[in-house]
Amino acid sequence: MDFRTVGLTENEYKTILRELGRTPNETELRLFGVMWSEHCSYKSTRPLLRLFPIEGRAVVQGPGENAGVVDLGEGFGLAFKVESHNHPSAVEPYQGAATGVGGIIRDILAMGARPVASMDGLFFGDPELRKTKVLRQGIVAGIGGYGNAVGVPTVGGKTVYDEAYTENPLVNAFCAGVVRLEDIVRSDTAQPGRLVVLLGAKTGRDGIAGAAFASVELAEDTSASRPQVQIGDPFAEKILIECCLELLEKRLIDSMQDMGAAGIISSSSEIAAKSGVGMTLDLDRVPLREKGMTPWEIALSESQERMLLIVNPDRMEQVLQVAAKWTLDCTVFGETTGDGRFVMKAGGTAVVDLPPAFIGGNAPIIHWLSREPRDLEKRQRLEVEELSPPKDLGAVLRSLLKDPNLGSKTWISEQYDSMVQTNTVIGPGGPVSLLRVLRGDRSPVFIAFSMEADPWKCHTDPRGGGAETVARTLRSLSVCGAEPLGWTNCLNFPSPQDPEVFWEMRECVQGMADAARGLSCPVVSGNVSLYNETPQKKILPTPLVVTAGLLSDLDGFLPWSRWREGDHLFLAGMPNTALGASRYLLRTFGLLQGKILPFDAGAEQDFTARARRTAKERAARSARSLAGGGLAVALAKEAMESGIGARLDVQIPTRPDVFLFGEGGPRALYAVPPASLPLFRSIWRGSPLTELGVATGNILDVKRGFSLSLAELRDSWRR
């Protein structure tokens, strides 16, 4: 069998020959093809990921496990991670999205945590195209169909539209779970003489080589790739969750791994490699639902709802009893050894005999060429003075509210169960989602989640866009009063073999790392998804970030959209903005150009500290961090959702359209009751603060800007 047919490069094949001292057989070669794929090995991005800060005061478990864990106090932790399921969702929207949700839930479960919240980042093409509508309908239904049935609330998310995603939609699935710190499960705790157990669904041919499929660009005709998409069963997953949690509560297992990408080979070799043990597996003992499966098909199957357990032989009988209670298949099909070899047998013969660390983690790093895009100067060139400001800024605002990227997403979120488990305080639709976390018999704490992505800024200004993406999540958390704990990310990019793409990716990562360090917020987990392109189109550079923040109680939580008659409205933070890659520029002029405001760590630190103090001391009634659409869209959303208008008369320091629709930098819109004005002003003394006007009536009236009724605003937004 030729090494190229399984996706290996000549250099990789030579490395295998040199390390093994022999020619690998067909089964071994197929396993290397998947395990050394981009999706499993991160061979293109490992050096880049080292740029991220991974240590912090709250970090209990950083990158390298199924998920990261941060400390919630009182002996409890929050495990969380985001993963991509892009190619499968492009090929089979419903099952691709559904199994993405199922897979990330099992990653959290594999840490010993009970999954308590899900979110989704969705990127679609032109919303008017039939193809987009079909993909969107299937993907949204898949997320809702799986998440609703498995009993994990979908508490928020982000939806983006751009023609760059027409052929290659992105589905990034996030999950968080709660775990006692003493009960965290890790993959490096296996010892020789333990049993290797398969718990859950029977193994079939669905999803075989799915990880390798996710590591190449999509073909024009995606129908041939459908066999590489997994089939999910959320009811089976719910049973699996409860069974695993009972096994953990009774301390019956030593380690546990989700059988996701690359199935048995990935989960078993990772435990063997990290624990420094050998492992012998008998593939003939794996329960199958299809006849005639070859050893490599069994090893690489990505059938869903399965977990791999490491069990002390003395506890195996109890494990079988718990599995029987939950009506799950539970089969011993191997054991850990002290010989340092990873062996798979079939028909009584060894079909795989490899060093576990070599198959699981030693794919040679690929150092791709990096070159600044030839058109970067053109992308970043923007002479605002050459753009004639629109005469009717009210029409501009209404147009922005109709933009599918800024308009109402209620039709999506209403298909998801956001209240199951009854701990959701604030679900989808706001700047952050808020969840109550019960820590045993102790008082609850509250976790805020913020998800962000801005592919347009990352296209015109990759480093600045990467920093802005991270900073936005931290601003939103700080404005609502949460103390950031850590963040996870999914790096969605086209082929790294294109030097210009690799340059963009490196710059985005560097910008994200700069923001993380500048704001002392570490990365705890993440995922990389490359080759998101078709022969006709590449996606935009799309890093997605989810940051978690902690609130000890609701007294320190500052909500949004709570204006009352007579409240004073303020713009806190940087008064200067930029039109580069803004929604205003794209929507009004059709231009995707311009640099953004450079990341300023000092200004961000000052802003987030004052914002948290404002919330903690209850110095304002309402607040919203500014993002897409700038100040004008923030004003419109606050007015619509509060049910009260405003009269603003402010000396605009620049062009009205720049002031109203510019984006970037740490800024927030505050509503302050008269009695709180002295405290609010004292908190922001020494920092840029602009008094805008007063909340009143049912018209949003901005002198020298626009005057629109709440009814007009709502009509535009709901369209």
* Distance in angstroms (rounded) separating the CA atoms of residues 306 and 496: 32
Average pLDDT estimate for 335-349: 96
- DSSP assignment of 88-109 equals HHHHSHHHHHHHHHHHHHHHHH
Catalytic pick among 39, 87, 459, 568? 39
Chain segment 15-70, per-residue pLDDT in tens: 999 999 999 999 999 999 999 998 889 999 999 999 999 999 999 999 999 999 99
Q: Is the pLDDT of residue 219 over 80?
A: no
- CB-CB contact of 620 with 680 (8 Å): yes
pLDDT on residue 238: 97
216: DSSP letter = S
Which residues have a Cβ under 8 Å from the Cβ of 472 and sit 6 or more positions away? 450, 452, 454, 545, 625, 627
- DSSP assignment of 385-403 equals GGSPPPS-HHHHHHHHHHS
Q: What are phi and psi of 270, to 5 degrees?
A: -65, -45
The band of 218, judged by pLDDT with boundaries at 50, 70 and 90, is low
The band of 228, judged by pLDDT with boundaries at 50, 70 and 90, is low
Which tokens go with 4? 């190229």
Range with the poorest average pLDDT among 255-269, 481-495, 505-519: 255-269
Chain segment 139-180, per-residue pLDDT in tens: 999 999 999 999 999 999 999 999 999 999 999 999 999 999
Query: Could you give the residue range(s) of every CATH 3.90.650.10 domain in the chain?
Result: 185-214+229-364, 558-719
pLDDT on residue 220: 55
Checking 373-381 for CB contacts under 8 A at 24+ apart, the result is 373/500, 373/503, 373/504, 374/500, 378/593, 379/459, 379/460, 379/461, 379/592, 379/593, 380/460, 380/461, 380/580, 380/593, 380/594, 380/595, 381/593, 381/594
Q: Is the pLDDT of residue 706 over 80?
A: yes
Taking the CA atoms of 380, 383, 384 and 389 in sequence, report the sign of the dihedral they define: negative
Average pLDDT estimate for 572-582: 91
Q: Is the pLDDT of residue 607 over 70?
A: yes
pLDDT on residue 223: 47
Average pLDDT estimate for 195-216: 78
pLDDT on residue 443: 83
* Distance in angstroms (rounded) separating the CA atoms of residues 135 and 398: 27
* Distance in angstroms (rounded) separating the CA atoms of residues 104 and 117: 11
* Distance in angstroms (rounded) separating the CA atoms of residues 265 and 281: 10
**DSSP 3-state assignment of 605?**
helix
* Distance in angstroms (rounded) separating the CA atoms of residues 296 and 352: 9
Residue type, 620: A
Told to judge if 85 belongs to the known catalytic residues of this protein, a careful annotator would answer yes
Q: What is the pLDDT of the chain when averaged over all its residues?
A: 94
Beta-sheet strand order (sheet of 349-354): 255-258, 306-311, 195-200, 329-337, 278-282, 342-346, 349-354
- CB-CB contact of 468 with 475 (8 Å): no
Chain segment 278-332, per-residue pLDDT in tens: 999 999 999 999 999 999 999 999 999 999 999 999 999 999 999 999 999 999 9
Residue keyed to tokens 């998800």: 451
pLDDT on residue 441: 75
444 to each of 74, 78, 177, 269, how far by Cα in Å? 10, 13, 15, 39
Q: How many Cβ atoms from other residues are within 10 Å of residue 383's Cβ?
A: 8
| Beta strands 523-529; 483-492: pairing state | parallel
pLDDT on residue 211: 53
The band of 704, judged by pLDDT with boundaries at 50, 70 and 90, is confident
404: DSSP letter = T
Rg (CA), the chain: 26
339: DSSP letter = S
Residue keyed to tokens 């070669």: 29
Assigned superfamily of 45-181+439-556: PurM-like, N-terminal domain (3.30.1330.10)
The band of 98, judged by pLDDT with boundaries at 50, 70 and 90, is very high
State the CATH architecture for 185-214+229-364: Alpha-Beta Complex (3.90)
Which helix (H) or strand (E) is 323 found in, with range? helix 316-325
* Distance in angstroms (rounded) separating the CA atoms of residues 97 and 147: 10
Q: Which of 373, 337, 378, 372 is nearest to 355 (CA)?
A: 337
Q: How many Cβ atoms from other residues are within 10 Å of residue 443's Cβ?
A: 10
Distance of CA 650 to the CA centre of its chain: 39
**The CATH fold of domain 558-719:** Phosphoribosyl-aminoimidazole Synthetase; Chain A, domain 2 (3.90.650)
Told to judge if 367 belongs to the known catalytic residues of this protein, a careful annotator would answer no
Q: Is 497 exposed, middle or buried (0-12, 13-18, 19+ CB in 10 A)?
A: middle
Distance of CA 549 to the CA centre of its chain: 15
- CB-CB contact of 100 with 91 (8 Å): no
Query: Could you give the residue range(s) of every CATH 3.30.1330.10 domain in the chain?
Result: 45-181+439-556
Which helix (H) or strand (E) is 487 found in, with range? strand 483-492
Q: Is the pLDDT of residue 212 over 60?
A: no
Q: Is the pLDDT of residue 699 over 50?
A: yes
Average pLDDT estimate for 654-664: 93
pLDDT on residue 226: 45
Which residues have a Cβ under 8 Å from the Cβ of 504 and sit 6 or more positions away? 373, 458, 459, 462, 493, 541
**DSSP 3-state assignment of 303?**
coil
Q: pTM value?
A: 0.95
* Distance in angstroms (rounded) separating the CA atoms of residues 189 and 631: 52
